[in-house]
């Protein structure tokens, strides 16, 4: 593991754990890089595809910083970046940030969203009470990135990267189009407009989409955290 003492980027000279975390992952783009690696390893250009607003030089810097602090690993031979255990442990952090953002004004869902971002957001936008124990199995494909989603007994989405995703239905399209299928007009409507491709059980696709909403989810303060299970897919090469 990287020696944290070598890090020369400290901005908060405090003993607060939150400040310590921000010193490690608080730079602009850092958490979004983590988001793009959450479900599978990726090469540099694939990371850039999921972060269209970042320059190559900034992405290089952020990756080097995340490698330095032990959040990301880099296979220089294969050119692959992957999250470490510490990096994967940020999944609930990203989920809670999404859940918090639902309460705040100004969100514009028409702006770019990657398929990885959508897979993170569904953990924050699911109606867990209705989703609990659902047998629905969803498959998503956007470009070369595929995902399978099932629902736990507590209603938490279980996301797994897959080269050839299988489910009761398969939705194919851009991240924005797939987000609109889940949060907007619905998969059947988007498919009829040619915005996405829908294969399989149409009713199951709509039933799955109905479990998610961009309205704030109300949870009791005593509610247990959702189950989180991630199975890394094949590396994107």
CA distance 109 to 190: 16
Give the model's pLDDT for residue 3: 47
Nearest partner of 207 among 169, 161, 165, 159, judged by Cα: 169
Residue 122, pLDDT score: 96
Percent of the chain with pLDDT over 90: 84
Q: Is the pLDDT of residue 224 over 80?
A: no
Name, in order, each residue with C-beta under 8 angstroms of 180's C-beta and a sequence gap of 6 or more.
109, 190, 195
Integer Cα distance of 53 and 113 in angstroms: 11
Q: Stretch 27-42: mean pLDDT, rounded?
A: 97
- Long-range (24+ apart) CB contacts under 8 A made by 85-89 are 87/34, 87/37, 88/38, 88/230
pTM, rounded to two decimals:
0.87
For residue 50 the two structure tokens come to: 């999921």
Is the per-residue pLDDT at 171 higher than 80? yes
57-64 contacts: CB < 8 A, separation 24 or more?
58/28, 58/29, 59/29, 59/33, 62/27, 62/29, 62/30, 62/33, 63/33
Determine contact, residues 166/148, Cβ cutoff 8 Å: yes
Domains of the chain and CATH, by start = 9-88 (1.10.10.10), 106-231 (3.30.1050.10)
Determine the average pLDDT of the residues in 202-222.
Answer: 83
Q: What is the mean pLDDT of residues 170-186?
A: 97
Confidence category of residue 125, pLDDT binned at 50, 70, 90: very high
pLDDT at 220: 47
Residue that wins the pLDDT comparison between 64 and 8: 64
The rounded mean pLDDT for the chain is: 90
Alpha-carbon distance of 190 to 165, in angstroms, equals: 20
pLDDT at 231: 44
Q: What is the pLDDT of residue 11?
A: 81
């Amino acid at each position: 593991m990287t020696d944290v003492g070598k890090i020369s980027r400290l901005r908060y000279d405090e003993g607060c754990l939150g400040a310590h975390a921000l010193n490690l992952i608080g730079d602009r783009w850092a958490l979004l890089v983590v988001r793009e690696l959450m479900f599978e390893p990726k090469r540099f250009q694939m990371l850039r595809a999921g972060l269209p607003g970042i320059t190559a030089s900034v992405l290089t810097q952020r990756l080097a910083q995340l490698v330095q602090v032990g959040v990301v690993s880099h296979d220089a031979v294969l050119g692959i970046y992957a999250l470490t255990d510490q990096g994967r442990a940020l999944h609930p952090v990203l989920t809670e940030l999404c859940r918090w953002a639902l309460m705040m004004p100004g969100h514009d869902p028409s702006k770019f969203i990657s398929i990885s971002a959508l897979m993170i957001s569904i953990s924050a936008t699911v109606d867990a009470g209705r989703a609990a124990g659902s047998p629905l199995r969803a498959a998503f494909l956007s470009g070369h990135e595929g995902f399978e989603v099932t629902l736990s007994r507590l209603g938490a989405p279980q996301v797994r990267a897959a080269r050839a995703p299988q489910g009761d239905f398969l939705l194919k399209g851009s991240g924005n189009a797939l987000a609109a299928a889940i949060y907007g007009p619905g998969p059947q409507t988007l498919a009829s407009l040619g915005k996405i491709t829908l294969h399989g059980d149409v009713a199951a696709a709509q039933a799955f989409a109905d479990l998610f909403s961009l309205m704030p989810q109300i949870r009791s303060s005593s509610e247990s955290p959702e189950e989180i299970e991630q199975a890394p897919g094949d590396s994107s090469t």
